[in-house]
């Protein structure tokens, strides 16, 4: 990554069915080898399963799941005087969402289940209820930040 210039953030195109940027981000992170139509099918089927299971609007359930997964703090390694410290820092809003979607997809992929639609739907449903692997990951990150809050004065 270049140290000179900040990368320009491109505006995401809204999802055609739900008209949501979050769904677009989810589709883009599910996508493998540029197969966006297959990724959309997976996401839409997963949201249909969530709709049946939760008896609620699937977009609301998905947004609640993302809110439950978003981390408030994270730790970054900082080298000071020959020693490495895990310094807790606050996470920007864009990075919170990106991390939440990344964790949701990665834990859905390693989950036991038949199809990716089922695994993704179960992970979304669990995260919306406040449990699930992605929520546990957020809790681990918060515990690490809490344990290292003594080094918070090394922020840059």
First to last CA, the chain: 19
pLDDT score at 7:
85
Whether the pLDDT of residue 1 is over 70: the answer is no
pLDDT digits 0-9 by tens, 34-49: 999 999 999 999 999 9
Whole-model pTM: value is: 0.89
pLDDT digits 0-9 by tens, 137-152: 999 999 988 888 777 7
| Dist. CA 30–CA 49, nearest whole Å | 17
Question: What is the overall mean pLDDT for the chain?
Answer: 91
CB atoms within 10 A of CB 57: 13
Structure tokens at 134: 């992605």
At 82 the three-state DSSP class reads coil
Q: Establish how many alpha carbons lie within 13 A of residue 20's alpha carbon, considering only the half-sphere containing its beta carbon.
A: 15
Whether the pLDDT of residue 85 is over 90: the answer is no
Mean pLDDT for the stretch of residues 77-82 = 88
CATH architecture assigned to 21-154: Orthogonal Bundle (1.10)
Residue boundaries of the structural domains of the chain: 21-154
Q: Name residues whose C-beta falls within 8 Å of residue 48's C-beta, 6 or more positions apart in sequence.
A: 58
The helix or strand, by DSSP H or E, that contains position 124, with its residue range, turns out to be helix 116-129
């Amino acid at each position: 990554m270049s140290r000179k210039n900040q990368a320009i953030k491109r505006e995401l195109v809204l999802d055609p069915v739900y008209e949501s940027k979050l769904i677009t981000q989810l589709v883009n992170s599910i996508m493998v080898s540029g197969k966006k139509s297959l990724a959309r099918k997976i996401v839409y089927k997963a949201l249909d399963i969530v709709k049946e299971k939760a008896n609620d609007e699937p977009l609301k359930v998905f947004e609640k799941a993302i809110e439950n997964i978003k981390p408030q703090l994270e730790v970054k390694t900082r080298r000071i005087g020959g020693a490495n410290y895990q310094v807790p820092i606050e996470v920007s809003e864009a990075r919170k969402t990106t991390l939440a979607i990344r964790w949701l997809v990665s834990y859905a992929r390693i989950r036991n289940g038949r199809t990716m639609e089922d695994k993704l739907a179960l992970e979304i449903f669990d995260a919306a209820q406040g449990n699930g692997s992605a929520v546990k990951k957020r809790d681990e990150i918060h515990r690490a930040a809490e344990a290292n809050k003594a080094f918070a004065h090394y922020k840059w």
